[in-house]
């Protein structure tokens, strides 16, 4: 197989910025349809053997550690002021880190405004798409990602951490408790082996059982001869012509030298902090507030899901770190029942951290015996993560930092976030229920752990029916510029109470169909 | 079937052995922390920071993240790098050197002795609480939470087995061997 290599002056190529869940999937889709694609990725390209089963070295290898700044009342701003978010900078993006939980939105979750009504301080909006329209794309995404519990793929076996949660959940009367819909092979499929219960899902799956664009979508796209991936290529600026159409991008190559790639169209998929940063940094005389920002919504409505963890100590060993990190789920709270004191739903999913990360994240900044006694209980600890819908707020936003710049002189993303009262009420409910699950099976101590740096980043270029309310239309095409698209989680109108990646992938597949159609009709 | 315990696969190197054997049992440390971990003689080889500063950092490490199951060698290893860091970076040297002076001033004001000579852990903790908002404590703690717990040789003591890919994961090594839950 010879890999495609396109000329920088070739203005018939379609440029995709970012190679993660959204960008990597879109790249393969377009390549399969015969579109020439150049995918620019800020990070390096690793292979499965490069991954390390060791939390901090893996973090240094894969994570986006370039500076970012923070403000707002969320605790992350205090504990991790320069690490608002935990995402990957590498070919494959955060689909290398992700745990694999793949859930569809509920029907009502596409209609948050209609369902929840007006909520003080929340900038709610209905999606311009319905579940019905998404169903075929969800099915496509589940099939390509190999989501268990779909397409006849068996569920994974439950590990110790799951069994503890399951036993507690059953005592409490929860009904929908199972090992999840995971994009992790429970049997060999699609040229990849099955899960060996290695337990380092967050550090890159060394068996390749877990779906990642790095070793699925991207090589498949490359095999068509239509996709060229350029690692260590950070886009700094998107360019446009006098008519306002996008014409190409300027990027820093591996040596830090600025390069220009011409393009017929551009899709931005840098994850929800970097995508608005890039649009804002591309401000010009014609677009003084940044590209595609006539609504003023670029960077706003930043969502990160309402999260928190519950870790419980028991008399006897659990060894939660053995096997899949997100080994199972309780779905009973994933409904909209305002009687609980908040709108929207949440999931409870097992989570585990190795000892090094447990020390850093169990209670950031804490020290002394009350803290270290929790680590002394490590072997006897079980853990779960709460993940629910958070409210979009206009003031939760990504802006360009006024002072701090990266090594290429590009202003870094500054992230402001305050919890909405609905988020707090939901988190407290989740803490209470999670604690009850573990107490039901004899937990001797329950610890409520605050949110980690954001792993789910959503909403900063949101989708809206009306150009006034958001940045992109129902195809992820910007309202303002016909040949500029957003292809990552920043398109989300609202966050829903489920992990986002299945929806990101389904949207990318759908967008691929539409971009190819627009091209063949000569619209872009 | 009973649950698989953690493998005892940790090998003690000669260097670690020498470090460990120079220390006393944790229980004794608790009673007389100042006389063991706070030992300046153990840091005679420190070049940039004074043996006193290194001894102070070591005792401070145990007081910050106290685990009675850990011997002193783990705390020594966790802070040893500060001497090299201080040599390489004037700002770091300053933070540590000034920080130790400040810590001792606080200790003297409260208990009439330097930090390493304050006998009770509870008393030393009140000194740490007093300096907690400052740059010195913040820098030392933020480093320690990684440099202490990232030592692979201490993981088995906490029942953490670490890397598993080279053993074929936990699929055949106890991922689902829990045996004490109520039957469901
Ligand atoms: C530990 C962890 C566990 C997770 N578990 C789950 C889970 O179980 N289920 C789930 O649904 N989701 C999970 N997620 C979230 C999931 O990983 C993300 O939702 C998903 O990867 C986002 O896809 P994306 O395409 O928006 O961005 P990413 O996958 O983050 O890809 C963005 C890529 O763009 C690159 N980039 C950014 N800016 C530029 C630029 N200017 N030029 C060039 N390249 C650029 C980045 O380097 C990156 O590689 C998890 C995340 C983490 C961190
Ligand atoms: S537990 Fe399974 S999915 Fe997770 S890293 Fe290991 S093999 Fe991959």
Report the 3 state secondary structure along A65-89. CCCCEEECCCHHHHHCCCCCECCEC
- Closest residue in A to B67 (Cα–Cα): A372
User: Residue B159 falls within a domain, yes or no?
Assistant: no
Q: For position B42, what pLDDT does the model report?
A: 83
Name the β-bridge partners of A240. A246
Q: From CA A450, how far away is CA A141, in angstroms rounded?
A: 32
Binary contact (B158, A166; C-beta < 8 A):
no
From chain B, the residues in CB contact with A365 under 8 A are: 141
Binary contact (A198, B170; C-beta < 8 A):
yes
Find the A271 Cα to ligand 1 centroid distance in Å.
6
Q: For position B105, what pLDDT does the model report?
A: 98
Phi, psi of A421 (to 5 degrees): -55, -35
Find the A94 Cα to ligand 1 centroid distance in Å.
3
- How high is the ipTM of this complex? 0.91
Whether chain B has a CB inside 8 Å of the CB on A366: the answer is: no
User: Residue B59 falls within a domain, yes or no?
Assistant: yes
Of B145, B168, B178, the CB nearest to A360: B145
**3 state DSSP class of B45:** coil
Q: From CA A205, how far away is CA A198, in angstroms rounded?
A: 8
pTM of full prediction above 0.90: yes
Contact partners, residue A288, CB within 8 Å, separation at least 6: none
* Confidence class for position B184, pLDDT limits 50, 70, 90: low
Whether chain A has a CB inside 8 Å of the CB on B181: the answer is: yes
Of A319, A358, A376, the CB nearest to B69: A376
User: Residue B163 falls within a domain, yes or no?
Assistant: no
Whether A182 lines ligand 2, by a CB cut-off of 6 Å, is: no
User: Residue B84 falls within a domain, yes or no?
Assistant: yes
Whether A472 lines ligand 2, by a CB cut-off of 6 Å, is: no
Find the A200 Cα to ligand 2 centroid distance in Å.
6
Query: Helices A131-145 & A501-520, crossing angle to 10 degrees?
Result: 100
Q: From CA B82, how far away is CA B48, in angstroms rounded?
A: 9
User: Residue B49 falls within a domain, yes or no?
Assistant: yes
The two tokens of residue A23 are 């960008």
Q: Which residues constitute the domain of residue B76?
A: 36-152
Q: For position B5, what pLDDT does the model report?
A: 79
Q: From CA A178, how far away is CA A156, in angstroms rounded?
A: 9
Whether chain B has a CB inside 8 Å of the CB on A167: the answer is: yes
> Which ligand neighbours the alpha carbon of A101 most closely?
1
Query: Helices B90-111 & B72-88, crossing angle to 10 degrees?
Result: 130
Q: For position B41, what pLDDT does the model report?
A: 83
Asked if A336 and A116 count as a contact pair (C-beta separation under 8 A), the reply is: yes
Using CA atoms, how far residue B111 sits from A14, B56, B85, in Å, is 71, 16, 31
Q: From CA A333, how far away is CA A385, in angstroms rounded?
A: 13
Whether chain B has a CB inside 8 Å of the CB on A166: the answer is: yes
Binary contact (A52, B155; C-beta < 8 A):
no
Ligand 1 atom nearest residue A508's Cα: 25
Phi, psi of A164 (to 5 degrees): -65, -50
Pocket of ligand 1 (CB under 6 A): A 17-23, 40-43, 86-90, 93-95, 97-101, 202, 234-235, 269-271, 274, 278, 326, 455-456, 488-489, 499-501, 504
From chain A, the residues in CB contact with B182 under 8 A are: 167, 171, 441
**A115 backbone φψ class: left, alpha, beta (φ>0; ψ -120 to 50):** alpha
The two tokens of residue A59 are 């973090």
> Cα angle at A359 between B46 and B37, to 5 degrees?
35
Find the A95 Cα to ligand 1 centroid distance in Å.
6
Of B159, B168, B181, the CB nearest to A319: B159
How many interface pairs between A and B have CB atoms less than 8 angstroms apart? 130
From chain A, the residues in CB contact with B177 under 8 A are: 160
Nearest to A449 by CA among A459, A461, A438: A438
Q: From CA B39, how far away is CA B54, in angstroms rounded?
A: 9
The two tokens of residue A154 are 């068996």
Q: From CA B76, how far away is CA B81, in angstroms rounded?
A: 9
Rg of chain B taking only CA atoms, in angstroms: 19
- Closest residue in B to A162 (Cα–Cα): B176
How many Å lie between the alpha carbon of A322 and the closest alpha carbon of chain B? 5
Binary contact (B145, A359; C-beta < 8 A):
yes
Q: What is the pLDDT of residues A342-373, one digit of tens each?
A: 999 999 999 999 999 999 999 999 999 999 99
Asked if A86 and A63 count as a contact pair (C-beta separation under 8 A), the reply is: yes
From chain B, the residues in CB contact with A352 under 8 A are: none
Whether A183 lines ligand 2, by a CB cut-off of 6 Å, is: no
* Confidence class for position B89, pLDDT limits 50, 70, 90: very high
Using CA atoms, how far residue A356 sits from A59, B5, B154, in Å, is 11, 20, 11
Q: For position B9, what pLDDT does the model report?
A: 43
Binary contact (B165, A207; C-beta < 8 A):
yes
Q: What is the pLDDT of residues B29-68, one digit of tens each?
A: 333 334 456 788 888 888 899 999 999 999 999 999 999 9
Interface of B with A in 80-139 (CB under 8 A): 125, 128
Whether A324 lines ligand 2, by a CB cut-off of 6 Å, is: yes
Nearest to A121 by CA among A420, A366, A343, A474: A420
Whether chain B has a CB inside 8 Å of the CB on A441: the answer is: yes
Binary contact (B164, A160; C-beta < 8 A):
no
β-pair type (A381-388, A346-350):
antiparallel
Place of tokens 């260590």: A232
A377 membership: H or E segment, kind and range? none
A135 membership: H or E segment, kind and range? helix A131-145
Whether A481 lines ligand 2, by a CB cut-off of 6 Å, is: no
Q: From CA A384, how far away is CA A166, in angstroms rounded?
A: 11
Closest Cα to atom 7 of ligand 2: A195
Give the mutation candidate from B130, B149, B175 for the A interface (greatest A CB count, under 10 A). Answer: B175
User: Residue B77 falls within a domain, yes or no?
Assistant: yes
Binary contact (B146, A356; C-beta < 8 A):
yes
Q: For position A5, what pLDDT does the model report?
A: 97
Nearest to A101 by CA among A331, A270, A369: A331
Ligand 1 atom nearest residue A202's Cα: 1
Give the mutation candidate from A196, A312, A324, A380 for the B interface (greatest B CB count, under 10 A). Answer: A196
The total number of structural domains that make up chain B = 1
Whether A156 lines ligand 2, by a CB cut-off of 6 Å, is: no
User: Residue B112 falls within a domain, yes or no?
Assistant: yes
Structure-derived torsion over alpha carbons of residues A13, A17, A20, A26, reported in degrees to the nearest 10: -30
Q: Check pLDDT > 70 for residue B23.
A: no
**3 state DSSP class of A424:** helix
User: Residue B1 falls within a domain, yes or no?
Assistant: no
Of A158, A198, A356, the CB nearest to B169: A198
Q: What mean pLDDT, rounded, does chain B reach?
A: 85
Q: For position B36, what pLDDT does the model report?
A: 58
Which regions in chain A score pLDDT beneath 70? 1
Q: For position B25, what pLDDT does the model report?
A: 35
Q: From CA B67, how far away is CA B70, in angstroms rounded?
A: 6
Q: Check pLDDT > 50 for residue B22.
A: no
């Amino acid at each position: 197989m010879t890999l495609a290599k396109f000329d920088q002056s070739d203005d018939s190529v379609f440029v995709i910025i970012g190679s993660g869940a959204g960008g990597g999937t879109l790249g393969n889709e377009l390549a399969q349809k015969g579109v020439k694609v150049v995918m620019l990725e800020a990070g390096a390209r690793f292979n499965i053997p490069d991954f390390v089963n060791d939390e901090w070295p893996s973090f240094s290898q894969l994570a986006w550690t370039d500076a970012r700044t923070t403000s707002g009342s969320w605790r992350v701003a205090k504990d991790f002021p320069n690490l608002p978010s935990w995402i990957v900078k590498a070919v494959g993006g955060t689909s290398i880190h992700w745990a694999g939980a793949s859930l569809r939105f509920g029907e009502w979750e596409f209609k948050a405004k209609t369902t929840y009504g007006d909520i003080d301080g929340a900038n709610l909006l209905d999606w311009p798409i319905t579940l019905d329209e998404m169903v075929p794309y969800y099915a496509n995404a589940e099939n390509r990602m190999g989501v268990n519990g779909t397409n006849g793929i068996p569920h994974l076996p439950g590990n110790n951490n799951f069994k503890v949660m399951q036993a507690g959940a059953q005592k409490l009367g929860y009904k929908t408790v199972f090992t999840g819909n995971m994009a992790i092979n429970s049997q060999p499929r699609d040229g990849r082996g099955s899960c060996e219960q290695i337990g380092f899902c967050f550090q890159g799956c060394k068996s390749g059982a877990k779906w990642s664009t790095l070793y699925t979508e991207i090589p498949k796209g490359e095999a068509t001869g239509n996709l060229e991936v350029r690692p260590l290529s950070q886009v700094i600026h998107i360019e446009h012509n006098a008519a306002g159409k996008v014409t190409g991008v300027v990027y820093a190559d591996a040596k830090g030298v600025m390069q220009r790639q011409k393009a017929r169209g551009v899709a931005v998929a840098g994850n929800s902090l970097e995508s608005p940063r890039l649009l804002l940094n591309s401000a010009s005389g014609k677009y003084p507030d940044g590209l595609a920002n006539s609504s003023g919504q670029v960077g706003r409505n930043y969502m990160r899901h309402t999260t928190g963890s519950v870790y419980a100590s028991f008399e006897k060993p659990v060894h939660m770190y053995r096997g899949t990190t997100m080994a199972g789920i309780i779905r009973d709270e994933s409904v909209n029942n305002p009687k609980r004191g908040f709108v929207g739903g949440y999931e409870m999913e097992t989570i585990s951290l190795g000892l090094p990360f447990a020390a850093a994240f169990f209670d950031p900044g804490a020290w002394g015996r009350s803290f270290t006694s929790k680590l002394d209980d490590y072997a006897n600890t079980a853990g779960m993560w709460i993940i629910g819908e958070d409210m979009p707020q206009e003031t939760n936003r990504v802006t360009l930092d006024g002072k701090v710049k990266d090594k290429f002189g590009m202003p870094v993303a500054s992230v402001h976030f305050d919890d909405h009262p609905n988020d707090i009420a939901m988190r407290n409910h989740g803490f209470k229920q999670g604690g009850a699950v573990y107490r039901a099976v004899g937990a001797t101590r329950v610890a409520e752990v605050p949110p980690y740096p954001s792993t789910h980043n959503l909403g900063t270029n949101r989708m809206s029916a009306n150009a006034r309310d958001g940045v992109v239309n129902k195809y992820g095409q910007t309202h303002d510029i016909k040949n500029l698209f957003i292809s990552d989680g920043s398109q989300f109108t609202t966050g829903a109470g489920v992990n986002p990646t299945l929806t990101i992938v389904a949207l990318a597949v759908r967008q691929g169909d539409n971009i190819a159609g627009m091209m063949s009709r000569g619209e872009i | 079937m009973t649950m698989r315990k953690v493998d005892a696969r940790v090998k003690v190197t000669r260097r670690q052995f020498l470090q460990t054997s120079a220390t006393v049992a944790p229980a004794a440390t608790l009673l007389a922390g100042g006389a063991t971990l706070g030992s300046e003689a153990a840091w005679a080889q420190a070049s940039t920071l004074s043996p006193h500063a290194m001894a102070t950092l070591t005792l401070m490490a145990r007081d910050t993240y106290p685990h009675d199951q850990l011997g002193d060698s783990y705390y020594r290893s966790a802070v040893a790098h500060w001497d090299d860091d201080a040599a390489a970076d004037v700002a770091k040297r300053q933070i540590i050197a000034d920080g130790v002076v400040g810590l001792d001033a606080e200790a003297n004001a409260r208990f009439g002795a330097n930090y390493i000579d304050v006998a009770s852990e509870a008393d030393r903790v009140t000194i740490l609480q007093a300096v907690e908002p400052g740059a010195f404590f913040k820098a030392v703690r933020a480093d320690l939470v990684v440099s202490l717990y990232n030592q692979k040789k201490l993981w088995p003591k906490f029942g953490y087995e670490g890397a598993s890919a080279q053993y074929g994961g936990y699929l055949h090594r106890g991922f689902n061997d829990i045996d004490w839950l109520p039957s469901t």
